[in-house]
A = this chain, B = another copy of it.
Amino acid sequence: MKFSEIVQKLDVPSHSSILNTDLDPEITGLAPIDNAPTGTLSYIEGGKFAAMLHKTTASALILPPDEKLQEQAVERGIAWIADTEPRLLFAKAIALFYKPFRPDVGIHPSAVIHPSVQIGRDIYVGPNVVIQAGVKIGNEVCIHPNVVIYPKVEIGDRTTLHANCTIHERSRIGANCVIHSGAVIGAEGFGFVPTSSGWFKMEQSGCTVLEDGVEVGCNSTIDRPAVGETRIAQNTKIDNLVQIGHGCQVGSNCALASQVGLAGGVKVGNNVLLAGQVGIANQAEIGDGAIATAKSGIHNNIEPGAIVSGVPAVSHKLFLKASAIYNRLPEMYQLFKQIQRHSTNK
C-alpha cells in the first residue's frame, strides 16, 4: 500500500500534513522505530524515541507536531505525517495491515455442552470446551479450546474467551469483552473466618460481573464475594496476573497494569490508572481519575485525581522528594552525628 493511501485511510485531521510530497514509498508493514526494515512505517512519540530518528531505516514515520523532527525526517529522506497523537494514529495504521486471528464459526464436536445451554447465532466453540448447565451465550461469541464454563454463567455478544480460561458459576460477562488465556473469573473469594478451632469457611454465594468492553489479562483472577457482587465496570482494561479480591467494585475506563492486587471490598472509581504491582488493602476507596505509580501500597482512601506512590502511598510529589533524600540519608546521618557531638561538647 502506498504511504499516501495509508494517510488517506487514516483520515488524519487537516492540520497534519505530508511535507515531502515527492516521497510516497510503498509500505509493506509496520515496525518499531529501533528495528524497522526498509519499506515499513513506524512512529515516534516522546523524547526517548526521537534519538532513533537519525538511524532508523523505516521508510515512513508518524511524528508528533515537532518541526525539528520533521526536518530531520526530510533530511533523511523519510516520508512522514505529523499528528498530536502519533501512537493513536499508529494503532489505526496497524489495523489497516493486520487481521487478528479469528476461528471460523462452528462448534467443535469434542466440545461438551449441557443440553440446557442457550447459544446465540454465529458463535465459535473450540475443541474440548466444556459448558455446563444453564449457561447463556450471546451472538458471535468466540470460545477458544479448553475453556471451562461453570453453571449459570452469562456471556454477552461478541465476547472472546481465550484458551484455558475458566469462568465460574453465576458470572455475568458483558458484550465485547475479552478474557485472555488462563484467566479465572468468579472463583470463590478468600473468605475464612478465624475461630478457636481454626478457619471457618465462609461460602461465597455472590458472583462476579464484568460489564461491556472489559478485558482481563492472562492468568488474572477476579473472585466472587460471599454475598453481592464483584463488579468491573465498562471498558476497564486489566493486564496479566492481576488479582481482584471478593467484592471489589472497579469503575469504568480504568487500566490496571500487570500484577496489581486488590484485596477484598476495594472500591476503585472511574478512569483510574494503577501501574504494575500496585497493591490496595481491604476496603480502601480510590477516587475517580487517581493514579498509583508502580509498586505503590495503598492502605487508605485516595482522593479523586490524586497521584500517589510508595508504601504506604503518599502524594507522588512528596514521594519523589522524600525518596531523593532517602538516598542522602547516610551522608545526612554522618553530618547529623557531627552536629550532635558538637552540640554535646559545648
B190 near A164 with CB under 8 A, answer no
The contact string, 1 if C-beta is below 8 Å from chain B, for chain A 176-200, is: 0010111010011011110100111
Complex-state Cα separation, A35 to B130, whole angstroms = 33
By a CB distance below 8 angstroms, the chain B residues around A169 are: 101
Complex-state Cα separation, A336 to B335, whole angstroms = 9
The contact string, 1 if C-beta is below 8 Å from chain B, for chain A 3-40, is: 00000000000000000000000000111100100000
The answer to whether the Cβ of A321 comes within 8 Å of any Cβ in the partner chain is: yes
Complex-state Cα separation, A108 to B132, whole angstroms = 13
The answer to whether the Cβ of A87 comes within 8 Å of any Cβ in the partner chain is: yes
B294 near A279 with CB under 8 A, answer yes
A253 near B198 with CB under 8 A, answer yes
The answer to whether the Cβ of A50 comes within 8 Å of any Cβ in the partner chain is: no
B339 near A330 with CB under 8 A, answer no
By a CB distance below 8 angstroms, the chain B residues around A166 are: 162-164, 181-182, 218
B181 near A247 with CB under 8 A, answer no
Complex-state Cα separation, A268 to B245, whole angstroms = 24
The answer to whether the Cβ of A77 comes within 8 Å of any Cβ in the partner chain is: no
Count copies of this chain in the complex.
3
The answer to whether the Cβ of A68 comes within 8 Å of any Cβ in the partner chain is: no
B332 near A333 with CB under 8 A, answer yes
Determine how close the nearest CB of chain B comes to the CB of A126; give it in whole angstroms: 7
By a CB distance below 8 angstroms, the chain B residues around A78 are: none
Complex-state Cα separation, A276 to B92, whole angstroms = 37
Complex-state Cα separation, A329 to B328, whole angstroms = 10
B94 near A205 with CB under 8 A, answer yes
Determine how close the nearest CB of chain B comes to the CB of A94; give it in whole angstroms: 5
Residue from A162, A187, A218 having most chain B Cβ neighbours under 10 A: A218
Q: A87-B202, A187-B218, A325-B329 are in contact. List 14 more A-B contacts (CB 8 A).
A: A30-B226, A91-B226, A94-B203, A112-B128, A130-B146, A166-B181, A199-B255, A243-B258, A295-B295, A295-B311, A311-B323, A314-B327, A332-B336, A342-B343
